[in-house]
Amino acid sequence: MAPNWPEEVDVFSVPHSRMKELVQGYLDQMTSTNFSNVIHLTTLLKHLCDTFREFKVHEQIENKYILCKLRQKLRSLSIRNSAVCNCHSDNRLTEMLELVEDGFDWTWRPQADRMHYGFKLRRALEDFTQTFIPHMEEEEAVFQPMLIEYFSYDELKAIKAEVIHQHLTN
Ligand code: FEO
């Protein structure tokens, strides 16, 4: 169903299209990676490092330019919303980035070790994806309507412009 607000005040959809493209990219690459091949594994790890760094930047931009503002607005209206307060508090981006960066140490180990690491990485990525996609859906379905409710059209237009600018320049 199409959202009830104009595209120019939709702060999540454009960045999330990019994040979903990145998710599809690593899912596709995972299925074609042969973990016993050092070049395959190294290529995957470089791609995942770039991807998870971009996820982190996305999260920092949301924190600074959307969620902080929403929390402040709710606080000024004496509204307490635990979903907004806890958004991003339990995500696994740092943990995933560490797992991926550790992977470079495994590229020089015996084939059986690389296969073991690959199995662990595959499971971690599947688990991460199962929470990351619903997380983005929650932002679009729950937080965007709150933004529409508590911010003016012009305020949201400015927030969206800043969010897009930050994604393009960070
Ligand atoms: Fe838009 Fe918090 O990921």
Question: Does the ipTM surpass 0.90?
Answer: yes
**Percent helix, strand, coil in the chain (nearest 5)?**
80, 0, 20
Q: Which long-range contacts (CB under 8 A, 24 or more apart) does 81-90 make?
A: 81/146, 83/138, 83/142, 83/143, 84/143, 84/146, 87/62, 87/138, 87/139, 87/143, 88/59, 88/62, 88/63
Residues 167 and 62: their CA atoms lie apart, in Å, by: 10
CA 12 to ligand 1 centroid distance, Å: 8
Span 9-59, pLDDT tens digits:
999 999 999 999 999 999 999 999 999 899 999 999 999 999 999 999 999
Q: Which CATH class is domain 8-169?
A: mainly alpha
Residue nearest to atom 2 of ligand 1 (CA): 59
Determine whether the shortest distance from the Cβ of 140 to ligand 1 is under 6 A.
Answer: no
Domain locations along the chain: 8-169
- The fraction of the chain above a pLDDT of 90, given in percent, is 85
Span 96-129, pLDDT tens digits:
999 999 999 999 899 999 999 999 999 999 999 9
Span 127-147, pLDDT tens digits:
999 999 999 999 999 999 999
